Amino acid sequence: MKAVPAWRRIPWPPLIYLAAIAAGILLGLVMPLPRLTGPFANVLYAMGWLLIVAFVALWVSSFRAMRRAGTTLDPSGEPSHLLTEGPFSITRNPIYLANTLLMFGVGFISGNWWFLLLAIIAAVLTQKIAIGFEEKVLAEKFGRRYRDYAKKVRRWI
């Protein structure tokens, strides 16, 4: 493996999502957007809780799979195993997907629509800054196994 530049060793994905959550809270306080009312608001509220449940399920199952495999939990670390089971059989990035679902869920529950926009921005930034690099590392380390896996399992959903 080649030496990893210092800026790549920063765990960008959690920092991106934490910054997006902080920005969502701040924007919701400073520039609140109009709230929905009525039955549609109730449906979105219920959907928000379902998304939170999905977030917890994906997060817990992803971290368990990573611990069982003995691979790094650090998004900037070098993986020791190619995970293709459990949540990794549905999406190549279950933790990033879970973080995005969390933001959508909080947005729906709180009625803070900034969270929806910022969730999309966080996902795009994560894709640009982290996922592309991670995929190169996985392809380099696991070769054909990773390329076959990437053909079968979508990046997000």
Is 143 inside a domain boundary? Answer: yes
Average pLDDT over residues 134-154: 95
pLDDT digit string, tens, across residues 64-73 = 999 999 998 8
pLDDT digit string, tens, across residues 26-79 = 999 999 989 888 899 999 999 999 999 999 999 999 999 999 999 988 877 788
SS3 1: coil
Is 35 inside a domain boundary? Answer: no
**What is the residue-averaged pLDDT of the chain?**
92
Range of the domain at 139: 52-69+80-157
Q: What is the pLDDT of residue 135?
A: 93
Domain count, the chain: 1
Is 29 inside a domain boundary? Answer: no
CB burial class (10 A; 0-12, 13-18, 19+) of residue 119? buried
Average pLDDT over residues 104-124: 97
Residues 6+ apart with CB under 8 A from 74: 11
Which comes out higher in pLDDT, residue 144 or 137? Answer: 144
Q: What is the pLDDT of residue 8?
A: 59
Are 133 and 20 a contacting pair, CB within 8 Å? no
**Does the pLDDT value for residue 7 go beyond 80?**
no
Is 40 inside a domain boundary? Answer: no
Is 33 inside a domain boundary? Answer: no
